[in-house]
Amino acid sequence: MFISKKNLGSTQARLLGASALMLGTLLSPTLSNLPTNAVELGENKTFFQTAPRLTRVAAGNAIADIPDTYQFTISLPDNAGKPLQAVTITQQENLEKIKFDLNQSSAFIGDSFAGGREISLANIGGSQSDGANQVMVTFDEPVLPGNDVTVSLKAKRNPQAGGIYVFGVTAYSAGENSPGLYLGSRDLRLGGSD
């Protein structure tokens, strides 16, 4: 069988690419469990050592067109390396935008509707008029590693159009110029009639 140098080169490249893909697949679970150190990004930017997790998104009552409370729980691991200073909650594009009464926002230590020790908020802001539909909540005192924190947002009303509504959450570590870490998104079935 005759193999040209051109075919040999592309075969080697395919084998190398496949080997790298297999190695990455095998190593990624192992590497994600290794201890990490604080990440210094330069220009006084800091990041979490171990990422916080978005553990719960819930609504008090999913019935259409009534006021409701949405809760977003973030778990900050013991080895996070940095406290949690702020979170941004963004509603992904959908049939309806949910309008929040930012003055009714709150946060507490814990992970259930029963609530825990309240955390005072330094700032609540957001962009709900230009299509972004996001709310940024800044804690007066950063949340220390090893705690769960729940942010409660009061919706002026649940959507009338029933369906799945998706919310993404970004966490910001304490310190100046934190670039933020996207924790992922969760969905809620809201609106419509039951």
**Which of 69-83, 91-105, 110-124, 129-143 shows the highest mean pLDDT?**
69-83
Q: What is the DSSP letter of 11?
A: H
Q: Is the pLDDT assigned to residue 3 strictly greater than 50?
A: no
pLDDT tens by residue, 25-35: 333 343 333 33
Q: Do residues 137 and 177 both lie within one domain? A: yes
Q: Do residues 68 and 21 both lie within one domain? A: no
Q: Do residues 57 and 89 both lie within one domain? A: yes
If one counts every other C-beta atom within 10 angstroms of the C-beta of residue 42, the result is 6
Q: Do residues 12 and 51 both lie within one domain? A: no
Q: Coil, strand, or helix at residue 51?
A: coil
Q: Do residues 129 and 45 both lie within one domain? A: yes
User: Measuring CA to CA, which residue among 114, 5, 131, 101 is closest to residue 56?
Assistant: 114
pLDDT of residue 168: 96
E-strand stretches of 76-180: 84-91, 106-109, 118-119, 121-127, 134-143, 148-155, 163-173
Q: Is the pLDDT assigned to residue 84 strictly greater than 90?
A: yes
CATH code at position 165: 2.60.40.740
pLDDT tens by residue, 87-116: 999 999 888 888 999 999 999 999 876 678
User: Measuring CA to CA, which residue among 170, 143, 179, 166 is closest to residue 89?
Assistant: 170
Q: Do residues 59 and 126 both lie within one domain? A: yes
Q: Do residues 16 and 88 both lie within one domain? A: no
Q: Is the pLDDT assigned to residue 8 strictly greater than 70?
A: no
Q: Do residues 45 and 136 both lie within one domain? A: yes
The whole-chain average pLDDT of the chain stands at 79
Place of tokens 């990455």: 24
Q: Do residues 156 and 70 both lie within one domain? A: yes
Q: Is the pLDDT assigned to residue 1 strictly greater than 70?
A: no
Q: Do residues 87 and 149 both lie within one domain? A: yes
Q: What average pLDDT does this structure show over 48-60? A: 94
Q: Do residues 19 and 86 both lie within one domain? A: no
Distances (CA, A) of 133 to 42, 45, 128: 31, 26, 4
Number of domains into which the chain is organized:
2
Which domain range does residue 77 map to?
40-190
Q: Do residues 14 and 101 both lie within one domain? A: no
